Amino acid sequence: MRRRRFLAGAIGTASGFALGPAVARADVPAPRAEGWQAVPAPGSTPAAQLRRIAAAGPQLAWAVGEEGRAGPSQGRGLAMLWNGGAWTKTDLSHLSHTRLTDVAGVCAASAWSVAQPVGTGSPLLRWDGTTWREATFPGVGESDVRLTAVAVGPDRQVWICGSRGGGVRLLHGDGGEWQWLDPLPVESASLYRVVLRSSGEVWVSGDQSNGGGWSGLVARWDGSWTVLPPIAGLRLGVADLHAAGPDDVWAVGTEAGIGGPPGRPGSPALSHWDGTSWTREEVGFTVGSLSGIAGDAQGRAVWITGWNYRDQSRSTYLHRDGDAWTVVRGPAGGTAPAPYLNDVTSVPGITSFWSVGMTSPTPAPPTEAYTERLE
């Protein structure tokens, strides 16, 4: 069985053909605004989108995705750099990758990105303060190697999730020495995100086969693997997670459900692990997706990016207020009449956040890269 790969932006494609035009629902009270503002991200060639973002501080952030998608073309990689005042597009003309899927960094001279394969094997890219270059690692160029996500800690240790030798696993290193760690003890799994709680505690998320579809997957590495019970659902994938502690883990994603035409939107899935079991939480809308989650300076999960199919007039977030999650909307009007968000991250050192995505839910022209910021 070929399982669906959970890729941000894919759910919105062709969704209007499945359920009809998306409109604002008059029977639902308007959510409160929270101060998110659109920030121009110029220079991308439609169709374009930003998939992931990482921030090292108020004056430095990276965002990656793809541009130039049209018809059957998968386009080319897109990477942007924030200098404290504006986004600029970084040169990738010396590379040939069709999509950058994740990015992480902690200082101006060192960031990391992973990309879709071109030819054989997935590439690993390193930012040296001026440009992106391919980096070597054990298994580079091998046809069964796939790198899907990357994280970097304050100690500059790099953690990459992916697959090699038929199993999903972590690649760990410092840019010089690399080591593939033991495979995750789960059959037929895919990983989409890796996050760090501390230098020795690494969390991953994705999905795993359940015989008739797939369930949400969350696991922890602290020298050995601990796999949490699957998150039950009808074809559910976990796009991102936030671990405040072993007994306080939030997982976000989309439940594709059963039936419907190609491109049918799924349902947003928000789950909480309390150390014993998973609990599905109310989201505030029923058709759409959840794509990213970020914590505050105290390590508490506070913001989630989403997409509400029934009302696409603004970007959609969930904000944690006390113990409850509340729907919050982004800015109205502007260059993105129906924005789709893929990721959210906090900015170290200040109480600010970034989100990234695209100006419409369909990755086809004239869609462009899009960012928002909360000061």
CATH number, domain of 79, equals 2.120.10.70
Task: Give the residues across from 198 on adjacent strands.
Answer: 201
Q: How many domains does the chain fold into?
A: 1
162-211 confidence digits (pLDDT tens) = 999 999 999 999 988 999 999 999 999 999 999 999 888 999 999 999 98
What is the residue type of 263? G
Note whether residue 3 is domain-resident: no
Q: Which amino acid is at 146?
A: R
Task: Decide if 255 is inside a domain.
Answer: yes
Contacts of 300 by beta carbon, 8 Å cutoff, 6+ apart: 244, 320
- Does residue 5 lie in a domain region? no
Decide if 7 is inside a domain: no
Rounded alpha-carbon distances, angstroms, from residue 8 to 65, 73, 235: 10, 18, 15
Residue 251: inside a domain:
yes
Residue 74: the pLDDT is 78
The tokens for 1 are 């069985």
Please report the sign of the dihedral spanned by the C-alpha atoms of residue 319, residue 60, residue 222, residue 170: positive
Q: Which residues of 289-312 are buried (b: 16+ CB within 10 A; e: fewer)?
A: bbbbbbbeeeeebbbbbbbbbebb
Q: What pLDDT sits at residue 262?
A: 63
- In the prediction, which pLDDT does 97 show? 79
Domain assignment present for 79? yes
Q: Is residue 162 included in any domain, yes or no? A: yes
Q: What angle do CA 263, 265, 267 make, to 5 degrees?
A: 150
- Angle made by CA atoms 132, 90, 238, in degrees to the nearest 5: 75
In a domain, 26, yes or no: yes
Regions in the chain scoring below 70 on pLDDT:
1-34, 258-263
pLDDT attached to residue 264: 72
Domain holding 296, by residue range, is 15-374
Q: Return the pLDDT at 6.
A: 36
